[in-house]
Amino acid sequence: MRKNKLLTGLLLSAALLTITSCEKSGDLFIGDVEGTYIGSFSKSTSLKSALFDGSDEHDGIAEVTMMGENEIQVHCFGNEIDTTFILDYYEHNDSVMVCLTGGAFENEYGHMLGGGHMSGGMMGHMSTSQTDWMHHMDDDHDDGDEHFGGFNMHDGSFTYSFRLMDNISAYYLKFRGIKE
C-alpha cells in the first residue's frame, strides 16, 4: 500500500513537472512574427528618441513574410515611405530582434556578416546561456553598433527605424505597428 502511494506521488510530481516545463513563458514561436502590422510613423533626430504621440492614427503598414531560415522580408509603407527589405532575425528572451543582412549589413557596419563565426575554428560554439541574439552580437558586432528594430512577442508589436536624409541633415523615421 505504501509503495502504491509513493509511486502515485512520484507519477503526479513527474506529470506536474512536465506540464509546467511545457508552458514556460519564455518559449517563442518565430512563425508568429509573420503577418501584417498596422501602425504609425514618428520622426526624430536620434535613434532612441523617436517617440509616438499615442494617437490612434494609423498611417503605416508593415507586411512581414518569412523568407527562409532566420530571414524575413518586410514591406513597410504609408504616407512617409514605401520600401521592401530583407532582415535576419534572432530570438532574444521575449523578443525577436532583427539585423541587416548581406550588402546592407556590410554598408552599415563595415565588415561581412558571419566574420566572427570563422575566427574560432569550430562551428556551433554558442554557449548554453546565450540567446541567438547574444550570440549574433558577440560574433558579428562591435560595441556601439546600432540596431533598428524588432518584435515584442508579448504585445504583438513590430518597430523599425529608418535612417534617412533630408536636404541637409539625417533623421530617423520610426514605424511601430501591432499585428492584425
User: CB-based burial of residue 151 (10 Å sphere; 0-12 exposed, 13-18 middle, 19+ buried)?
Assistant: buried
pLDDT at 30: 62
What pLDDT is attached to residue 19? 38
From residue 21, alpha-carbon distances to 12, 27, 86, 101, 176 in Å are: 14, 10, 34, 34, 33
CB 104 within 8 A of CB 162: no
Rounded to whole angstroms, the Cα distance separating 76 from 88 reads 16
d(CA 33, CA 71): 11
Sequence letter at residue 170: A
How much is the pLDDT for 151? 97
Residue 154's pLDDT is: 92
Q: Residue 174's beta-bridge partner residues?
A: 42, 161
3-state SS class at 66: strand
| pLDDT, position 44 | 84
Distance of CA 1 to the CA centre of its chain: 54
List per-residue pLDDT tens for the chain, 180 residues long: 555 554 455 444 444 444 333 334 445 566 689 999 999 998 888 876 655 555 556 689 999 999 988 999 999 999 889 999 999 999 999 999 999 988 888 888 888 876 554 444 444 566 667 899 899 988 898 888 888 999 999 999 999 999 999 888 989 999 999 999
Instruction: Count H helices and E strands in the chain, helices first.
Output: 4, 8
Tell me what pLDDT residue 74 has: 98
Dihedral of alpha carbons 152, 38, 163, 50, sign:
negative
Contacts by 42-45 with C-beta closer than 8 Å and gap 24+? 42/173, 42/174, 42/176, 43/171, 43/172, 43/173, 43/174, 44/171, 44/172, 44/174, 45/169, 45/170, 45/171, 45/172
What pLDDT is recorded for position 177?
A: 96
Residue 61's pLDDT is 98
